[in-house]
């Protein structure tokens, strides 16, 4: 598949999510990443055509993109809930459990998801896995202080943690933290692993999004979209 084909699949599923779930007057969470970007563009078109929406962003990158598409974003603290969030994912398993955060926005994405009534995940078929951790590493956001000690504790959970760098520079999240991409062979017990990771001092958040997705929409190369629902 060419990168153009992949882009088309992302656009298709993003537009379907917006058309089916975003209604006038809603408070909408805007996800982060290349798939969510198509949803933000579509939301911009709806607003330009007169729909009234209040939007919150899951990253600074998304906030900037929203502004570019004419979508005004308010701080999450200004709303008491979010009706619908449309976000991407890096892996989706058959139980709708997810790995997110390869785009570096897992902390804000999880905070927005926790405030959201209906979390819609959009992805192309390549993100489907039988078991989490088999394709993507698990991103874990850690505070910079003593980060190599935190990485050592992560390694004891059975993974190979790699400090994320972009062009040789250590990547910083929107909150100024580091990310360790933790490569597991597979994640057999995601709930247990999450509970072990979350008690490591220095860990801010992890990329396991468990029981978070209400609906997952998946686009396929033949142009169809399937819906996975709890």
Looking at the annotation, which residues are catalytic? 109
Among 222, 225, 206, CA closest to 102: 206
User: Which region, left, alpha or beta, applies to residue 215 given φ > 0 means left and ψ of -120 to 50 means alpha?
Assistant: beta
Please give the structure tokens belonging to residue 85: 């969030």
User: By the criterion CB under 6 A, which residues form the site for ligand 5RP?
Assistant: 31-36, 87-90, 100-106, 109
**Least distance to ligand 5RP from the beta carbon of 103, Å?**
3
Among 130, 95, 99, CA closest to 193: 99
If the CB atoms of residues 24 and 69 are measured against ligand 5RP, the closer one turns out to be: 69
- The sign of the CA dihedral 213, 91, 53, 50 is negative
DSSP line for 44-101: HHHHHTT---EEEESSHHHHHHHHHTT--B--GGG-S-EEEEEE--SEE-TTS-EE--
Within 10 Å of residue 51's Cβ, how many Cβ atoms?
A: 14
């Amino acid at each position: 598949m060419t990168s153009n084909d992949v882009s088309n699949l992302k656009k298709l599923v993003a537009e379907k999510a917006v058309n089916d779930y975003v209604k006038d007057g809603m408070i909408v969470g805007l996800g982060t990443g290349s798939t969510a970007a198509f949803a933000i563009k579509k939301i911009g078109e709806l607003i330009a055509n007169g729909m009234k929406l209040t939007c919150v962003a899951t990253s600074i990158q998304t906030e900037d993109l929203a502004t570019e598409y004419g979508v005004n974003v308010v701080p999450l603290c200004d709303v008491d809930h979010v009706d619908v969030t449309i976000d991407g994912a890096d892996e989706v398993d058959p139980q709708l459990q997810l790995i997110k955060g390869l785009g570096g926005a897992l902390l804000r994405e999880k905070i927005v998801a926790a405030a959201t009534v209906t979390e819609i995940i959009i992805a192309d078929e390549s993100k489907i896995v039988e078991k989490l951790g088999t394709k993507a590493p698990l991103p874990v956001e850690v505070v910079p202080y003593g980060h190599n000690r935190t990485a050592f504790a992560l390694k004891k959970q059975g993974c190979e943690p790699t400090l994320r760098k972009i062009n040789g520079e250590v990547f910083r999240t929107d909150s100024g933290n580091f990310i360790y991409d933790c490569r597991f062979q597979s994640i057999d017990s995601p709930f247990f692993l999450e509970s072990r990771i979350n008690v490591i001092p220095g860990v801010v958040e992890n990329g396991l999004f468990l029981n978070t997705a209400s609906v997952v929409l998946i686009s396929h190369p033949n142009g169809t979209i399937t819906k996975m629902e709890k």
